[in-house]
Structure 1
Amino acid sequence: MSHSVRDRVIAIVAEQAMLDPGQITLASTQADLGIDSLGLVEAVLALEETFGISIPFNANEPEQSDFDISSVGAIIAAVEKLMAEKA
């Protein structure tokens, strides 16, 4: 896991949760952080813009997505996978 990717993902998630990045752990979930569905969509859009990737995410059916949003660690791994596929 690249520290720069991890740090940038955590910063984006922290901004949506209105928390300090130090309060975010790899095990933190959307529910733990109090991120609602709109915040999740905004985070996905910010991740796409920041990393220049296209995230296969359906906000209407997030559980049907190929993009794992179960925890911050899972989001980081999914972003890194998409970046590797793009490279």
Structure 2
Amino acid sequence: MKVKVLKPVFAESASLVVNKANQFEETILFKKEHWVVDAKSLLGILALSLQPDQTVEILVKDTDNKEVYAELLNTGLFKTL
């Protein structure tokens, strides 16, 4: 699912994303340009340096669990394209 970043993702907001991702057993990846990071990794999320109006892709491996996407969108940091 491609999403648009609404707010900068730094320390507190990155921690929120990681905590939401850790609620699920599935492998959740964030893809920005050539970077692909594990959403459960704080350093990985911080390395993406997500800024408003950037587009990233959220990938959930081996499932079509819509709840994963819903929880990440409910953070208020992203919106679907």
Using the size of structure 1 for normalisation, the TM-score is: 0.30
The structure whose residues are more often helix, as a share, is 1
Q: Name the larger-Rg structure.
A: 1
For normalisation by structure 2, the TM-score amounts to 0.31
- Structure number with the higher strand fraction is 2
